[in-house]
Amino acid sequence: MNAPNERLRWAAKYPELGMEPIPVEPCISPEYFEREKEQVFMKTWLKVARIEEIANPGDYKVKKIHFAKTSVILIHGKDGKIRGFHNTCSHRGNKVIVEQGEETFGRSKAAVVTCRFHGWVYDAQGQLAHVPEEDRFSPCWEKESSGLTPVHTDVWEGFVFINLAKTPAQSLSDYLGGIGTHLAAYPYNAMKRCFSYHTTLDCNWKIALDAFSEAYHVSTIHAGSFPNVFSTGLADVELFGDHRTTGICLTLNAEPTPVARIANDITGASLVAKRGTSMLPPSVNPGRREDFSFELSVVFPNILIHISEGIWFTHQFWPVAHNKTLWEGKYYVPEPKTNSERWAVEFAQVLQRNAWLEDTATMEDTHAALESGAKSHMVLQDEEILLRHGYKVLERYMSAK
């Protein structure tokens, strides 16, 4: 008599999310996307950097934000504070720093940035510090009010966030709420080796995010890279307001490939190995399950943060158009100390990269098929509870006044 309920355990735990099919319109409608940019992305906190990327005073990073038609300068001031500014000169609107890709890095010993067009110089507080031939400007022009346009910027656990609203509805701490507490006190900065990937996909950002937000696909899509390694069932699903989290578990009797076994014996840089718990915050894997592999957390709207013993990684999905998404994947492990550890780390990240390629290979086909109009709704099973929660949160933002 209890079997059906056991198969719908997350629906029973979170009945407010319902069990009905999900409309596909939010994934394919250009009009919906235009409203989504204003209602969601221009109002929420968005991760744009790690503090290690601009670790020293004078370091700066420029991050393109396609949906807002801007790029943001993040600069580490001599006072130790990281501030964000629109990359637009107050003179005639040229870009202060010309980007060299999606992310551009630089350093100024004086902690200033200079517009190449006419040499206007801005300090780390965004104030206009120097103007060539300043005396030729009209007396009504005020240097003091001609600084860079600020962007609300804050840091949580080494993650640098921005908010593009004129006045954010919440502080970053309040916005993160329970998920911030849940993922706090993990030693993110202890894993200094980062393998970074990005590509532009012809799909909606939610289709991309959804593909990484469940384990139902593992036994099919990852049959080659992770054969019988991960369970398709989730563990310890928790909802934190706009955000959500779950544990992903191993199949304990799975036999790794011979090469994977050798790599795992050298270093724990691969997720296919059994994990420890010394680095985990108390609320992550609270029962200290032996089969726990990693925590999958979705911070609304567009970033996944995964933590495990000795490994953490992120996926971020930046909307470019209703049918185009910039995906960024970053995989962090400790610096190897020996040649054998270096080989094992390289093997682990290549295996992970291949799995990510398997994931991204589904996304464009999904979008193309949905745009055909053949289906008006998506049917979700119980273990896809994180997707259902995401669409409920999105619906609330879209209906807000």
CA angle, residues 133, 139, 143, in degrees to nearest 5: 65
User: What domains appear along the chain, each with residue ranges and CATH number?
Assistant: 3-35+179-399 (3.90.380.10), 46-167 (2.102.10.10)
Residue pLDDT, tens place only, 140-160: 999 989 999 999 999 999 999
pLDDT at 84 over 70: yes
State both tokens at 193. 């080796």
pLDDT at 1 over 80: no
pLDDT at 256 over 90: no
Residue 186's CB is within 10 A of a number of other CB atoms, namely 20
Strand partners for 159: 50, 156
Element housing 262 (H / E): helix 258-266
Of residues 255 and 18, more confidently modeled: 18
Nearest to 209 by CA among 325, 374, 104, 117: 325
State both tokens at 4. 């059906």
- pLDDT above 90 covers a percentage of the chain that reads 81
Question: What pLDDT is attached to residue 257?
Answer: 77
Place of tokens 């609300």: 152
- pLDDT above 70 covers a percentage of the chain that reads 99
Question: What pLDDT is attached to residue 2?
Answer: 40
Residue pLDDT, tens place only, 366-380: 999 999 999 999 999
State both tokens at 286. 């609270």
pLDDT at 47 over 50: yes
